[in-house]
């Protein structure tokens, strides 16, 4: 039987011009390997789609959420992404962009005035009236520690004042295509500052283009001299000092109407990923959601890297 097959292969090989049965066998083997690799690529692509479409194993407790690849635009996960809700201090990303767009002197000294005191929510601040800091320090504290008085001072020292600043915030939102977004103040203390998770993905991507916003929003802490005493301010997002995370941009937010909010531009599986979490109940829910999303994306990626048996 083997001799018959070999003879047949020889005849076929001579007919095709291959030259010999062993040469033909080698050619057939190469084609088989190529087909097998092609099938493996297709299987991986199909598995990638299935992994990210199957969210049954992902429990996100935030009321609205969106996870997106900013390079391809692919949505990895979404939950009520078009619901328009208050965004609290996520507002400060827009505040920072508008302040920087004016290309001001970052060494100019700004002062905290009575107009910067929160009379709406009565929030506390270590920046007492009369505190004088550089614009760079004000921006740092507004992004890192979510200092409301610092954000307010940035808006007051804008060309044309606070009113012109808020108008510029809304113009910027329109220019970025944020159709669900509006701003009435630079701090986010008012519930009238609203957006959707889908809009905020765009806003995070835009803010990520500003080196100072990336630097200041992910700084773990900073010592600032208030009066005659140095004081240490820390980041409101505990994940920025977590060695398991590589975060390029971060901002938290909270008022009662908005719940706990968190947006991040992070690297997961060596790929940029934007995470938006809005209206989270409980002190640690947004952090827990972020951790669950990270593990889910990583597990999907790890599955794709495993070789297929056979």
Q: Which active-site residues does the annotation give?
A: 89, 92, 146
Q: Please give the helix or strand (H or E) that residue 199 lies within, else none.
A: helix 197-207
- Check if the beta carbon of residue 168 is closer than 8 Å to that of residue 144: no
Tokens linked to 97: 């962009």
Burial 122-156 (b: 16+ CB within 10 A, else e): eeebebeeebebebbbbbbbbbbbbbbbbbbbbbb
Distance in angstroms (rounded) separating the CA atoms of residues 135 and 15: 82
| Chain centroid, CA 18 distance in Å | 57
Dihedral angle at the C-alpha atoms of 288, 291, 296, 298, nearest 10 degrees?
180
Q: What are the two backbone dihedrals, phi and then psi, of residue 20, each rounded to the nearest 5 degrees?
A: -160, 160
Q: Are strands 259-268 and 247-255 parallel, antiparallel or unpaired?
A: antiparallel
| Chain centroid, CA 104 distance in Å | 27
Q: C-alpha angle 30/27/4, rounded to 5°? A: 125
Q: How far is CA 271 from CA 11, 43, 67, 99, 204, in A?
A: 53, 21, 12, 29, 16
């Amino acid at each position: 039987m083997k001799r018959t097959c070999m003879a047949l292969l020889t005849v076929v090989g001579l007919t095709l011009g291959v030259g010999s049965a062993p040469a033909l066998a080698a050619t057939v083997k190469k084609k088989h390997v190529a087909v097998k690799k092609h099938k493996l690529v297709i299987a991986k692509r199909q598995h990638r789609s299935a992994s990210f479409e199957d969210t049954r194993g992902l429990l996100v407790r935030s009321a609205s959420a969106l996870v997106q690849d900013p390079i391809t635009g692919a949505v990895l996960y979404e939950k009520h992404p078009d619901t328009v809700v208050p965004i609290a201090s996520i507002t400060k990303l827009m505040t920072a962009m508008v302040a920087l767009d004016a290309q001001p002197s970052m060494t100019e000294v700004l002062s905290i005035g009575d107009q910067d005191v929160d009379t709406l929510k009565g929030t506390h601040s270590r920046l007492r009236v009369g505190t004088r800091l550089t614009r760079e320090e004000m921006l740092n504290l507004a992004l890192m520690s979510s200092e409301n008085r610092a954000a307010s001072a940035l808006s007051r020292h804008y060309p044309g004042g606070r009113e012109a600043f808020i108008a510029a915030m809304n113009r910027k939102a329109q220019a970025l295509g944020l159709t669900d977004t509006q701003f009435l103040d630079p701090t986010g203390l008012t519930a009238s500052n609203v957006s959707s998770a889908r809009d905020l993905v765009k806003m995070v991507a835009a803010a990520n283009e500003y080196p100072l916003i990336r630097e200041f929003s992910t700084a773990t802490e900073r010592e600032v001299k208030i009066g005659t005493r140095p004081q240490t301010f820390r980041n409101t997002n505990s994940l920025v000092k977590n060695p398991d995370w590589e975060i390029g941009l971060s901002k938290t937010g909270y008022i009662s109407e908005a719940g706990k909010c968190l947006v991040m531009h992070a690297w997961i599986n060596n790929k940029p990923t934007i995470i938006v979490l809005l209206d989270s109940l409980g002190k640690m829910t947004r952090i827990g959601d972020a951790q669950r999303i990270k593990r889910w994306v990583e597990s999907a990626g790890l599955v794709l890297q495993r070789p297929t048996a056979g």
